[in-house]
């Protein structure tokens, strides 16, 4: 595939975004391109997604990973190749990731005679809903992989810059739902009921003290309450108040500690107001922690190819690439794609000029690490 063909492949995916676990067309397009190049495909047994494998001489097993899903966002870029599906958009650049790792797979296949070892290229579904990585990592097809690498679009860096940083680079994104139950009443006679709204309001304010007062200030954590709902009119004390939000942490100990504290605080604050609380946790993937030695190796390959290498800016966003890092160490790399508009925004764009160089980088990195 020429550089122009790879860009056309990316633009075609951009035009046809598919949400998590629905990436049927995207999987088919990737399968066709791999098959045409004579690349072996392993079936992970999932509805969408696949794993390509290129086997060379004796050596190590390296994993490359692309995610393929889009977001329920209405695109507002005005690009010639903008989404033709209303309400769906590749607003996180997973179309770029898919094309990039396809380009890497084709480049490795072309250089098969240089390959000492094996490269497995994972095209995973459903990153945005945090279950595609788990599905692929538990498929049994990746247990022999010794190192994993993934790239992610990064609008703050221009094309030609890669962000490589050791240690934690993405948070564990956990969600919670708290229901505070009181007893409904006429708003003119609140003493005949138990109002859950003051309890919910008190909990919103006190919850931040978990972050500001109970953890080491050198350990990052975020607690955001993002959804607050109670009642539906002005003259009725409601039965129940609902709070939803997210906790973001970089270390397992603190993660468990904040969960326990918030659950206990919800119980105690509710009780202080004569209510009860029920807290449910939806546990997300682990934090992404980049291996220091492999970061050094990736940095060397990037510099040798003329890339600028920057330390990526930290974020408490989540990424299910961490599911693979439960199997083997690896590195999550920011790929400069310019534009400056943040991921998940309706005007998010990537610079197509970043695509072919990124594909060559991941091919070179895999070839280099397989023979190391
Ligand atoms: Ni993403």
Domain of residue 302 covers: 3-168+287-370
Q: Are 257 and 215 in contact (CB under 8 A)?
A: yes
DSSP string for 221-276 = EEEEEEEEEE-SSSSEE-SEEEEEEEEEESSHHHHHHHHHHHHHHHHHHHHHTT-E
Q: What's the CA-to-centroid distance between 209 and ligand 1, angstroms? A: 31
Q: Are 162 and 297 in contact (CB under 8 A)?
A: no
pLDDT, tens digit, 9 for 90 and up, residues 48-83? 999 999 999 999 999 999 999 999 999 999 999 999
Q: What's the CA-to-centroid distance between 222 and ligand 1, angstroms? A: 19
Same domain assignment for residues 211 and 341? no
Beta bridge partners of residue 308, listed in sequence order: 161
Q: What's the CA-to-centroid distance between 91 and ligand 1, angstroms? A: 8
Same domain assignment for residues 72 and 142? yes
Q: What's the CA-to-centroid distance between 359 and ligand 1, angstroms? A: 17
Q: What's the CA-to-centroid distance between 85 and ligand 1, angstroms? A: 19
Q: What's the CA-to-centroid distance between 128 and ligand 1, angstroms? A: 7
Q: What's the CA-to-centroid distance between 299 and ligand 1, angstroms? A: 22
pLDDT, tens digit, 9 for 90 and up, residues 140-184? 999 999 999 999 999 999 999 999 999 999 999 999 999 999 999
Same domain assignment for residues 323 and 346? yes
pLDDT for residue 197 is more than 80: yes
pLDDT for residue 311 is more than 90: no
Query: Average pLDDT, stretch 330-337?
Result: 98
Q: What percent of the chain has pLDDT above 70?
A: 100
Separation between Cα atoms, residue 340 and residue 234, nearest integer Å: 44
| Residue 97, pLDDT score | 98
Separation between Cα atoms, residue 296 and residue 283, nearest integer Å: 31
Query: Average pLDDT, stretch 321-343?
Result: 97
Same domain assignment for residues 270 and 339? no
Same domain assignment for residues 244 and 304? no
| Residue 3, pLDDT score | 97
Q: What's the CA-to-centroid distance between 190 and ligand 1, angstroms? A: 47
Same domain assignment for residues 237 and 332? no
- Report how many domains make up the chain: 2
- Rounded to an integer, what is the distance from CA 164 to the centroid of its chain? 17
pLDDT for residue 314 is more than 90: no
Mean pLDDT for all residues in the chain: 97
Same domain assignment for residues 194 and 212? yes
Q: What's the CA-to-centroid distance between 150 and ligand 1, angstroms? A: 11
pLDDT for residue 312 is more than 80: no
Same domain assignment for residues 91 and 77? yes
Q: What's the CA-to-centroid distance between 58 and ligand 1, angstroms? A: 34
Q: What's the CA-to-centroid distance between 94 and ligand 1, angstroms? A: 6
Same domain assignment for residues 56 and 115? yes
| Residue 118, pLDDT score | 98
| Residue 192, pLDDT score | 98
Same domain assignment for residues 106 and 156? yes
Q: What's the CA-to-centroid distance between 99 and ligand 1, angstroms? A: 14
pLDDT for residue 259 is more than 90: yes
Residue where a domain stops, chosen among 251, 282, 313: 282
Same domain assignment for residues 160 and 176? no
- Assign residue 58 the CATH number of its domain: 3.40.630.10
Separation between Cα atoms, residue 242 and residue 196, nearest integer Å: 9
Same domain assignment for residues 59 and 105? yes
Q: What's the CA-to-centroid distance between 75 and ligand 1, angstroms? A: 16
- Assign residue 276 the CATH number of its domain: 3.30.70.360
Phi-psi region of 254 (alpha: psi -120 to 50; beta: other; left: phi over 0): alpha
Residue where a domain stops, chosen among 245, 263, 282: 282
Residue where a domain stops, chosen among 282, 301, 316: 282
DSSP letter for 332, please: E
pTM of the model: 0.92
Q: What's the CA-to-centroid distance between 347 and ligand 1, angstroms? A: 15
């Amino acid at each position: 595939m020429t550089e122009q063909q790879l860009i056309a492949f990316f633009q075609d995916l951009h035009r046809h975004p598919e949400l998590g676990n629905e990436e049927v067309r995207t999987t088919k397009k990737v399968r066709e391109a791999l098959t045409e190049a004579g690349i072996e495909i392993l079936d992970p047994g999932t509805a969408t997604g696949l794993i390509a494998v290129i086997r060379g001489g004796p050596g190590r097993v390296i994993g490359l990973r692309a995610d393929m899903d889009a977001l329920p966002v209405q695109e507002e870029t005005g690009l010639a190749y903008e989404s033709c599906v209303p309400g769906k958009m590749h607003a996180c650049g997973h179309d770029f990731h898919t094309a990039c790792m396809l380009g890497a797979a084709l480049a490795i296949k072309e250089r098969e005679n240089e390959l000492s070892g094996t490269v497995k290229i994972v095209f995973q579904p459903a990153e945005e809903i945090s279950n595609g990585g788990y599905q692929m990592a538990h498929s049994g097809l990746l247990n022999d992989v010794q190192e994993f690498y993934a790239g992610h679009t990064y609008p703050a860096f221009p094309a030609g810059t890669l962000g490589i940083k050791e240690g934690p680079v993405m948070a564990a994104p956990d969600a919670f739902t708290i229901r505070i139950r009181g007893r409904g009443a006429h708003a003119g006679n609140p003493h005949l009921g138990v109002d859950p709204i003051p309890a919910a309001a008190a909990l919103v304010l006190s919850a931040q003290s978990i972050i500001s007062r109970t953890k080491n200030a050198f350990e990052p954590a975020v607690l955001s309450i993002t959804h607050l709902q109670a009642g539906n009119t002005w003259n009725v004390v409601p039965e129940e108040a609902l709070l939803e939000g997210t906790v973001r942490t970089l270390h397992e100990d603190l993660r468990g500690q904040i969960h326990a504290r918030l659950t206990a605080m919800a119980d105690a604050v509710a009780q202080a107001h004569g209510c009860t609380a029920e807290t449910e946790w939806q546990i997300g993937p682990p934090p992404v922690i980049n291996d220091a030695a492999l970061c050094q190796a990736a940095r060397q390959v990037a510099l040798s190819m003329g890339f600028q290498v920057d330390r990526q800016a930290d974020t408490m966003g989540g990424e299910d690439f961490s599911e693979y890092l439960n199997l083997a160490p690896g590195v999550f790399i920011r790929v400069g794609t310019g534009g400056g508009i943040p991921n998940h925004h309706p005007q998010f764009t990537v610079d197509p000029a970043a695509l072919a160089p990124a594909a060559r980088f991941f091919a070179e990195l895999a070839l280099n690490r397989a023979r190391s």
